[in-house]
Amino acid sequence: MHFVARSQVEEVVAAAGGRIVDVVDMSRLQDGGSLRFAVRRA
């Protein structure tokens, strides 16, 4: 299992000319969160 920081996702999306329109917490396990991002072009 690999992890990324939420801030890194936000930075990559912005750098690629996108915007995050929604984030859903998909966590089912206790050893780390799981997020689902909905993104569009800015």
Partner 1 sequence: MGLEHVKQVFEQYGKSDPMYAVLTDHARRGGKWDPADFFAHGREEITRVTQYLHDNQLTFPADQALDFGCGVGRLTQALYAHFSHVTGVDISSTMVAAAQQHNAAPDKVNYVMNDQPHLQLFADRSFDFVYSNITLQHVPPAPALRYIGEFLRILRPDGLALFQVRIGPRIDEGSLSAWWYRVRREHLRRVWQRLRGRIP
- Cα 34 to Cα 6: distance, rounded to the nearest angstrom: 10
Report the 10 Å Cβ neighbour count for 9.
15
Q: How far is the CB of 25 from partner 1 (least distance, A)?
A: 9
- Residue count at the site for partner 1 (CB under 8 A)? 29
Alpha-carbon gap, residue 32 to 19, rounded angstroms: 24
Q: How far is CA 19 from the centre of its chain?
A: 11
1 binds partner 1 (CB under 8 A): yes
Residues 21-40, mask of contacts with partner 1 (x by CB under 8 A): xx-x-x-----xxxxxxxxx
- Residues of this chain that interact with partner 1 (CB under 8 A) are 1-9, 12-13, 15-18, 21-22, 24, 26, 32-41
